[in-house]
Amino acid sequence: MSSPAAAQTEPDAEPRQRRARRKEARPGELLDAALRLFVEKGFAATRVEEVAAAAGVSKGTLFLYFPSKEELFKAVVRENITGRFQEWSEELDQFEGNSAELVRYCLHTWWERVGMTPASGITKLVMAEAGIFPEIAAFYQREVIEPGHELIRRILQRGIDRGEFRPLAMDHTIYSLISPMIFVLLWKHAMVPCVPSGTTLDPLGFIDNQVDLLLHGMLATTPPTDQAPRP
């Protein structure tokens, strides 16, 4: 049987615990709301008041966690994209298949973990508004583009070192692998209203086709060896 003292404190303990859990959940709820609104409306048109209201808190509470809209956006990118580079790097180190399989695996994984999620709209937002917000552009370059390029460079170099890929124009090949990913994002977030009704795109099928083209080329036969590749 509970003592009188315990009976007096127990009713207060549960609300405190709920408040503590609620406080711990707020940053995540704010980031989820911010991601949805940034993708839906763009960076410039999204107001912090809207983000706070969508997360069920006041604007003042939002600023306790994120001192500006720019810092809120950076936190959204780190939560949904930048924070994944470490796990992708570890998976690259542990991958046991050949390098062609690794290329396909990485593009599939990117689509499943980013492309199929609301975070897929971040790339379109940055492409549309980076010229207006140079701080956002510099941040995205530093924390998304540069580590992304480095990861792909490591994959390609792995193939070259193992004799599975021929020597490559590395920077051009990196962009060749990134281009199909950007295309499916633009299709998803911008191009659908502009194509004929009923036109669909299977993202993984498109990615697989692009990988096949990059790995095997479009020629039915190998070109003569006296035709040197362009530099």
> Total domain count for the chain?
2
Looking at residue 189, its amino acid is: H
Which one of 25, 40, 68 terminates a domain? 68
Q: Supply the pLDDT for residue 220.
A: 74
Residue 166 has, within 13 A of its CA and on its CB side, a CA count of 6
Claim to verify: residue 54 and residue 93 sit in the same structural domain? no
Q: Supply the pLDDT for residue 152.
A: 96
- Judge contact between 211 and 103, C-beta under 8 A: yes
List the single range of 21-30, 67-76, 97-106, 180-189 with lowest mean pLDDT: 21-30
Claim to verify: residue 159 and residue 106 sit in the same structural domain? yes
Q: Is residue 177 part of a domain?
A: yes
Claim to verify: residue 97 and residue 201 sit in the same structural domain? yes
Q: Is residue 48 part of a domain?
A: yes
Claim to verify: residue 47 and residue 104 sit in the same structural domain? no
Taking CA 128 as the corner, what is the angle to CA 200 and CA 194, rounded to the nearest 5 degrees?
30
Which one of 17, 44, 68 terminates a domain? 68
Claim to verify: residue 58 and residue 86 sit in the same structural domain? no
| pLDDT beyond 90 at 10 | no
Average pLDDT of the chain is: 87
Claim to verify: residue 187 and residue 94 sit in the same structural domain? yes
Query: Tell me, what CATH number does 206's domain have?
Result: 1.10.357
| pLDDT beyond 50 at 20 | no
End-to-end CA distance of the chain: 85
- Judge contact between 124 and 38, C-beta under 8 A: no
Claim to verify: residue 58 and residue 164 sit in the same structural domain? no
Q: Is residue 181 part of a domain?
A: yes
- Judge contact between 120 and 189, C-beta under 8 A: yes
Residue with tokens 């590749």: 229
Which one of 68, 100, 115 terminates a domain? 68
The pLDDT-based confidence of 26 (bands split at 50, 70, 90) is: confident
Per DSSP, the residues of 124-192 read HHHHHHTTT-HHHHHHHIIIIIHHHHHHHHHHHHHHHHTTSS----HHHHHHHHHHHHHHHHHIIIIIG
- Could you tell me the two tokens for 51? 């983000």
Claim to verify: residue 197 and residue 161 sit in the same structural domain? yes
Residue with tokens 């580590």: 147
Claim to verify: residue 34 and residue 96 sit in the same structural domain? no
- Judge contact between 101 and 80, C-beta under 8 A: no
Instruction: Give me the domain span that covers residue 182.
Output: 81-216
Digit-coded pLDDT (tens) for 87-105: 999 999 999 999 999 999 9
